[in-house]
Structure 1
Amino acid sequence: MGPVSHPTSTRRRGRLLRIGAACAVLLALAGYLIVHFSSSGPRAPGCTVRGPGKDGATYEMHPEQAVNAATIGAVGSSRALPERAVAIALATSMQESGLRNIGYGDRDSLGLFQQRPSQGWGKARQIRDPVYATRKFYEHLVKVPGYERLPLTVAAQKVQRSGYPQAYAKHEQEASLLASALTGRTPGAFSCTAALAGGRPGDPARVRAKLIREFGPDVLPRTQSAGLERTAAAGGGKSRAGSDAVVAVPVGRKPDRGGPGRRGWELAHWAVAQASELRIAQVSYGNRVWSAEESGEGWRTAEAAEGNSAASKARGSGTVLIRTVQ
């Protein structure tokens, strides 16, 4: 006599398998939604640049990308380069690395601009330094005759010699929008959300050292920059110079290029871009204040942040005040 089948048991096992599979799918979906909303929600770290006007264009980026973009802007400022040069550099990095300091690429390409040691751009460790890589890019760009008047993709290609020369053009709108904020032409256009609660305190000396390294030694008075230039040259690090949690950056140390207040907003936007990396709690300039605690609201007027001593000191003082987490 042959084996006896049990259709009821078979159906039950099939139903249990389908239920188990459905539960697994639901659990996976729930996990995805938790991760998605915790990393992409309104309070998740991220940065946004907005164009002028109520319905201006926007461009969003990760804090890592914002830090690198701010470095590109600051190094351009240290060389007194025009906004167009910064836009070309930003578009190039957007295409080459997505504004990330990556350690891989085509053949021996590395870093923000995918520069190649074998092609004379420097040693690998140098190219992986965003400040060095940006300086090298600008060194080549300014040698291009009439680069400011060239189409962006042509100017970028004359520096990069890419196998895809038209690729830079697709980033021009976002790069121009970002350049207008990072060079200070559009006040209050750059903002980040930063979750800093419960972490380590910030180090004002690191803020000063990075300011000097990216904007140059004359960005701060000698009383603040003394002892930090060597630290800045080495790429940051701890320093005992300046224990005050507030870093004051005088705006008038360099003339405004392109209009009053532009230098101040250039520095203020740079500081906000560093919020997650350097543990910056608040940035104040003129009559506007950005704070990590209220970062979802962007730049507020000083009246809206009344009672904050740092914001009060910044009003009309011609100084950008950067307060680190204590």
Structure 2
Amino acid sequence: MPVYQPSHQTSGGTRAPRGRRIRCAAALLALLTVVGYVVFVDWTGSHGLDCYVEANGTRLGLQQPQAANAATIGAVASSRDLPERALTIALATAMQESKLHDIKGGDRDSLGLFQQRPSQGWGTAEQILDPVYSSGEFFDELVKIPGYSRLPLTAAAQKVQHSGFPQAYAKHEADASMLAAALYGREPSLSCRVPSGGSPGDPVAVRQRLAREFGAQVLERQGSADGAPAEAAGTGALPGDTSGSTVTVPGDAAADPTDEDPTQHGWALAQWAVAHAPELRIAEVAYRGRIWRARESGSGWVKDAARPGHSYGDVRITVEH
């Protein structure tokens, strides 16, 4: 094994000059400061990666706005009953085009998550800067491509985007796939560190955002006799209606009966709420015996021991009050 040899040595065992010792000490102090800072931000999240998803020992970190935008893309895909592969393609595209930020400027007149251009017929600047609209436009074009779900990701994305660098989408495929699995509830692992307290939230605003991003049907429970929302079991509230500071939304009951896992839809809703917690002032999200709390958000999803009697098939979103 090669042995590391220092590039500067003193001859004959003589002591290094005092100035050199001072410089070495200063360098060591600087190194310790950097190490200390890295440890600090790892514990506190001060590096700005406030959200993460995990799968198979791999963790993907995201800034909260990135997670919120990704969750919105996922909600729009869900509202159209698109396969997970469609969401993966969309996320990889947005990762490359904007790093999942709603950019107000770009190359020429490119805007938004997908860097769509008003001059190319994608809509007005105001429309493109709306993540719900821009996601819908992306999916409108994607589903026109025959067999898009079987194409290589770069090919499918390029047919929508017409990019000058089509191979650039490939480097995001693994991360996009992991994020899509979380947002679609197949591998639910999305959690965010967010501040608690502050101004109160508005449960009506939460309900409106759910309907806008997932579609109005997200607030309805399937299986009621007259097609109207049925009472949420154990809550005394209508699904999607507000009871105090809590919005109760059907989880399992609203799932497609053909789904292999009826909890996927509920987890998609629950993780969407966590991703949007800061802007909607969400304090707690509970589903299937698990709960996420803003005031303890560093712990992620934990066992919900406080509500053993509530309907675990419903997603409960509680705002700050």
User: TM-score, length-normalised on structure 2?
Assistant: 0.78
Alignment RMSD, CA only? 2.8
Paired position in structure 2 for 1:133: 134
Q: What SS does the aligned partner of 2:271 have?
A: helix
Paired position in structure 1 for 2:181: 180
For 2:248 and 2:115, the matched residues in 1 are separated by: 35
**Deviations along 1:260-294, whole A, 9 cap, x unmatched?**
21111111111111111211111111121111122
1:121–1:37 distance in 2 versus 1, CA, 3 Å: farther
Where do 1:110-189 residues align within 5 Å? 110-187=111-188, 189=189
For 1:204 and 1:271, the matched residues in 2 are separated by: 12
Paired position in structure 2 for 1:103: 104
For 1:142 and 1:61, the matched residues in 2 are separated by: 28
For 1:122 and 1:145, the matched residues in 2 are separated by: 24
Q: What SS does the aligned partner of 1:213 have?
A: helix
1:288 aligns with 2:283: no
For 2:41 and 2:81, the matched residues in 1 are separated by: 37
1:253 deviates by: 2.4
For 2:139 and 2:131, the matched residues in 1 are separated by: 12
Provide runs of 4+ in structure 1 moved above 2 Å. Answer: 36-45, 221-224
Q: What SS does the aligned partner of 1:249 have?
A: strand
1:114 deviates by: 0.1
Paired position in structure 1 for 2:316: 321
Paired position in structure 1 for 2:202: 203
1:258–1:77 distance in 2 versus 1, CA, 3 Å: farther
1:223 deviates by: 6.9
Paired position in structure 2 for 1:14: none
**Deviations along 1:86-108, whole A, 9 cap, x unmatched?**
00000000000000001001010
1:48 aligns with 2:52: yes
Q: Which runs of 5+ in 2 are unaligned?
A: 1-28, 221-227, 231-240
Paired position in structure 2 for 1:212: 211
1:128 deviates by: 0.4
Paired position in structure 1 for 2:247: 247
**Deviations along 1:158-195, whole A, 9 cap, x unmatched?**
000000000000000000000000001013x1111111
**Deviations along 1:43-94, whole A, 9 cap, x unmatched?**
5571000014xxx211000110000000000000000000000000000000
Instruction: Tell me the percent identity.
Output: 54
Q: What SS does the aligned partner of 1:65 have?
A: helix
For 1:119 and 1:95, the matched residues in 2 are separated by: 19
1:39 deviates by: 7.1
1:83 aligns with 2:84: yes
Q: Which runs of 5+ in 1 are unaligned?
A: 1-25, 225-240
For 2:207 and 2:267, the matched residues in 1 are separated by: 17
**Deviations along 1:114-147, whole A, 9 cap, x unmatched?**
0000000001100000000000000000001111
Whether the 8 Å contact between 2:93 and 2:157 is mirrored in structure 1 is yes
1:98–1:92 distance in 2 versus 1, CA, 3 Å: same
What letter corresponds to residue 137 of structure 1 in structure 2?
Answer: F
Q: What SS does the aligned partner of 2:285 have?
A: strand
Q: What SS does the aligned partner of 1:132 have?
A: helix
**Deviations along 1:10-35, whole A, 9 cap, x unmatched?**
xxxxxxxxxxxxxxxx9xx99xx88x
How many pairs does the alignment contain? 274
1:38 deviates by: 8.2
1:202 deviates by: 1.3
